Every structure is written in structure tokens, then in C-alpha cells.
């Protein structure tokens, strides 16, 4: 079910912003979510320059009211068309497990796992009312492969993959599609704040990942996409 309007969380930067831009180029109306109102406005301005209708809901996507507001805005912008979603919000904080703070653990699990549960509860009634729907969750290859100094991140992404697969199994018969999108190492602002040995040229670009996400969300086929793995040419870095 190809959507005419999409909720996009994590739309203020990185992969979420690029996904929004590629959807905008293809005529999809957008309800953009993220914590930073200023950066969401930047994304909305870029999307409007491509001819897309946009609305903004700033706030924590773990807040049920924020997610409901995004779903309502997508329905309004869709003007009777189908609503979909790209769920790209998340955090990545790394460090040795023995010294990792409980606060960072809780915030990582909340942003990367609980937020998807909150999104599902907001979106499923919308999808059911329109006779089906399509949501894509931006996860990570860390949903399948563990890395050192990444206990909270890997745990949250393994859990998120399990949640998305469970949602796909539960709602498939209602025509509701849940896509797990697993990109490999992607150059975003996150890497600029890290002391990482990875070279930018070896990684995926956020623009390429955003394009692949738009392709998946707008795929016209009758079948369902359950899981998409998108890696750099060298594979897992």
C-alpha cells in the first residue's frame, strides 16, 4: 500500500532528514518529528522547496501525544490518501559496559526500542482504519551483528528487530506491513562526534540510505518487504 503521506521521525538530521527529502521529491506529504524545532524547520523548508506539503511536531517520540500528533498531521496532509511511516529516531552511545552509566542505558533503550512500541500504538489504528499501511523502522546492522563497547546500542537494536518482526507477524493479515531496514555504517553527524578509525569514504552516505528508504516505503509490489539489509560495498565495517 503506497502512502501519499508519511510520518518521519528523527527528521531533524542524518538519515531521517535524507529519507524525508527523497520522499518529498516523489510527492509525498510529510509529518516531521524530532526534538529540535529549529532543525525540523530546516528540514521542512528543504522538503517544501521540492514541492511537498509538510507539518512539524517537535518533541520526544516516546511521548504518546507527540506520536499521535504526528499521525494526525499525516492524515490531515494525506487528504484521504494512505498514511505510512519512516521511524528513524534513535541514539547511539558507546563505551565499556563496566563503566557505562545507567542513565545512558535507559535513554538508549527508550529511544531505540520503546519509541517504536509507542509509534506502533499510535499508527496501527490509523493503518487499520484505512485498510492497511506501511511502516519502515530504521534499525542497524547491529540488529544482527554485535560490536564491542556497544552493549546498550546492540541490545536495543536486537530488541527493535524482534519487535518489528513481531508486529509484521501480528498485523500482516490486516494488510499492515512492518519493514525492518538495516543499514551498515553510515556517515552522519554521529561519527563526527566520535573518535572512530573508520574512513568516511568507506561508509554509506546518509543520502544514499535515505534514497533506499524511500524506495522501500514506496515500493509498488503486491508482496511485503519484511527486512532490508543495506551495506557498504566492503560489507560490515
**CA pair distance 71, 7, nearest whole angstrom:** 6
Is residue 153 annotated as part of the catalytic site, yes or no?
A: yes
Q: Say which of 100, 153, 171, 230 is annotated catalytic.
A: 153
**CA pair distance 205, 45, nearest whole angstrom:** 21
DSSP 144-155: TS--TT-HHHHH
Q: Identify which of 166, 168, 70, 158 has the alpha carbon closest to the alpha carbon of residue 119.
A: 70
**CA pair distance 112, 163, nearest whole angstrom:** 11
Whether residue 47 contacts residue 24, with contact meaning beta carbons closer than 8 Å, is answered with yes
Which position has the grid cell 539489509? 229
Q: Identify which of 14, 42, 43 has the alpha carbon closest to the alpha carbon of residue 192.
A: 14
Active site amino acids: 153
Amino acid at each position: 500500500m503506497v502512502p501519499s503521506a508519511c510520518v518521519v521521525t528523527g527528521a531533524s538530521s542524518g538519515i531521517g532528514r535524507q529519507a524525508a527529502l527523497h520522499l518529498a521529491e516523489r510527492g509525498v506529504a510529510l509529518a516531521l518529528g524530532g526534538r529540535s524545532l529549529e532543525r525540523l524547520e530546516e528540514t521542512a523548508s528543504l522538503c517544501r522547496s521540492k514541492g511537498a506539503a509538510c507539518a512539524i511536531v517537535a518533541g520526544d517520540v516516546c511521548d504518546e501525544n507527540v506520536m499521535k500528533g504526528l499521525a494526525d498531521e499525516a492524515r490531515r496532509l494525506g487528504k484521504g490518501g494512505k498514511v505510512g511511516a519512516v521511524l528513524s529516531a534513535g541514539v547511539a552511545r558507546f563505551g565499556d559496559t563496566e563503566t557505562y552509566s545507567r542513565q545512558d542505558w535507559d535513554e538508549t533503550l527508550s529511544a531505540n526500542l520503546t519509541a517504536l512500541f509507542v509509534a506502533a500504538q499510535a499508527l496501527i489504528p490509523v493503518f487499520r482504519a484505512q485498510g492497511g499501511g506501511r511502516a519502515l523502522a530504521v534499525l542497524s546492522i547491529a540488529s544482527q551483528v554485535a560490536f564491542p563497547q556497544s552493549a546498550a546500542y546492540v541490545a536495543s537494536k536486537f530488541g527493535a528487530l524482534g519487535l518489528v518482526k513481531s508486529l509484521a507477524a501480528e498485523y500482516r493479515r490486516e494488510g499492515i506491513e512492518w519493514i525492518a531496514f538495516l543499514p551498515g555504517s553510515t556517515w552522519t553527524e554521529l561519527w563526527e562526534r566520535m573518535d572512530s578509525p573508520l574512513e568516511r569514504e568507506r561508509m554509506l552516505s546518509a543520502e544514499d540510505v535515505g534514497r533506499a528508504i524511500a524506495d522501500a516505503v514506496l515500493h509498488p509490489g503486491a508482496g511485503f518487504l519484511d527486512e532490508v539489509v543495506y551495506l557498504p560495498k566492503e560489507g560490515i565495517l
